[in-house]
Amino acid sequence: MKYRRYLFFFYLIIISITLHGMAHANADIVQVGTESPDFTLPSTKGKNYTLSAYRGIKPVIIWFSDCCGGCEGRAKVMQGILEDYGVEILAISMLSNARQTAEFVERVDIPYPYLIDTDFKVVKAYVGTYIPET
């Protein structure tokens, strides 16, 4: 019984430390209610896009994608949002290989800008440490 109590407190301390670390690990990323940091990134088509160019004109959805199988379905959902609500969508690839991103955009036939962030500066600013997941 005494062993279980110690084990319980041990796990409670580990969970507390983990949650505290998670809360502060991404302290430098964009927080809800703050202004989005500006960025300029090239698209798969070669044109540069700057976020601040849209300020005051129309709402922008920034979608971070790793071009996975699930992203194909999400890309079509984003296209529906684009058509139904008149917002601008800037998809940002979380792949380091620009060619793979361009192939994905071509295969899925994405009509909105798909931006290349091979050094992950924008991804890190908005998302924090990127861990691929599908």
Q: Which sequence spans correspond to the domains of the chain?
A: 29-126
pLDDT digits (tens, 9 = 90+) for 34-53: 778 899 999 999 999 999 99
pLDDT of residue 1: 52
Q: Using CA atoms, how far apart are residues 118 and 41, in angstroms rounded to an integer?
A: 10
CA–CA dist 112, 27 (Å, integer): 30
What are the b/e assignments for 112-122, b being 16+ CB within 10 Å? bbbbbbeebeb
- Most confident range (mean pLDDT) of 10-19, 23-32, 41-50 is 41-50
Tens of pLDDT, residues 58-87? 888 888 888 777 788 888 888 888 888 888
Q: Which fold has domain 29-126?
A: Glutaredoxin (3.40.30)
